[in-house]
A = this chain, B = another copy of it.
Amino acid sequence: MEKLQCDVLIIGGGPAGSVCAMTAKMNFPDKEVVVVREFEHQMVPCAIPYVFSDTLGSTENNLVSCGPAKTYGIKTLVGRVNSINPEEKTARMDDREIHFDKLVLATGSNPFVHPSLEHSLKIEGVFTVPKNVAYVDKMQAYLKGKKRIVVVGTGFIGIEMAMEFAESGKDVTVIGGSRHILKNSFDPEISIRAEKIMLDAGVSYIGEDRVTRIIDEDGHVTGVQLKSGKTVETEAVVLATGYKANTELAEDARMKFGHYGGIWVDEYMRTENHDIFAVGDCAMRRHFITKEQSKIMLASTSSAEGRIAGSSLYGIKYLKHFSGTIAIFSTVVGDVAFSSAGVTYTEAINGNADVVQSAFEGSNRHPANMPGARKQYVKLIAMRNGGQIVGGQIIGGKESGEMINMIGLMIENEMTVYQVMTMQVSTQPKLTASPPMYPIVVAATMLAQEISKGGQTA
Contacts and interface: CB of A to CB of B under 8 A. Distances in A.
Contact of A46 (B63, B399, B428): B428
A207 interface: no
Given A371-B55, A441-B307, A330 B423 contact: no
A257 interface: no
A435 interface: yes
A264 interface: no
A203 to B, nearest CB: 18
Interface string A256-277: 0000000000000000000000
Interface in A43-74: 44, 46-47, 50, 55-56, 61-64
Interface in A397-449: 397-406, 408-410, 412-413, 415, 418-419, 421-432, 434-436, 438, 441, 445-446, 448-449
A426 B413 contact: no
Interface in A61-108: 61-64
A50 B337 contact: no
A329 B430 contact: no
A18 interface: yes
A366 interface: yes
A153 interface: no
Contact of A399 (B26, B402, B419): B402
Contacts of A27: 449
Contact of A330 (B303, B306, B308, B431): B431
Given A410-B409, A424-B326, A429-B46, A418 B319 contact: yes
A23 interface: yes
Interface stretch (A189-197, A240-248, A294-302): A294-302
Contacts of A448: 318
Contact of A402 (B328, B331, B423, B432): B432
Contacts of A441: 303, 307
A409 to B, nearest CB: 5
A421 B300 contact: no
Contacts of A236: none
A423 B427 contact: no
Contact of A405 (B400, B426, B436): B426
A15 B435 contact: yes
A320 interface: yes
A398 B401 contact: no
A367 B68 CA distance: 14
Contact of A408 (B23, B426, B435): B426
Interface of A: 15, 18-19, 22-23, 26-27, 44, 46-47, 50, 55-56, 61-64, 298-304, 306-308, 311, 318-322, 325-326, 328-332, 337, 339, 341, 366-367, 369-371, 397-406, 408-410, 412-413, 415, 418-419, 421-432, 434-436, 438, 441, 445-446, 448-449
Given A47-B366, A300-B438, A307-B422, 10 more contacts: A26-B445, A47-B367, A47-B429, A306-B436, A318-B421, A318-B422, A398-B431, A402-B431, A408-B424, A413-B413
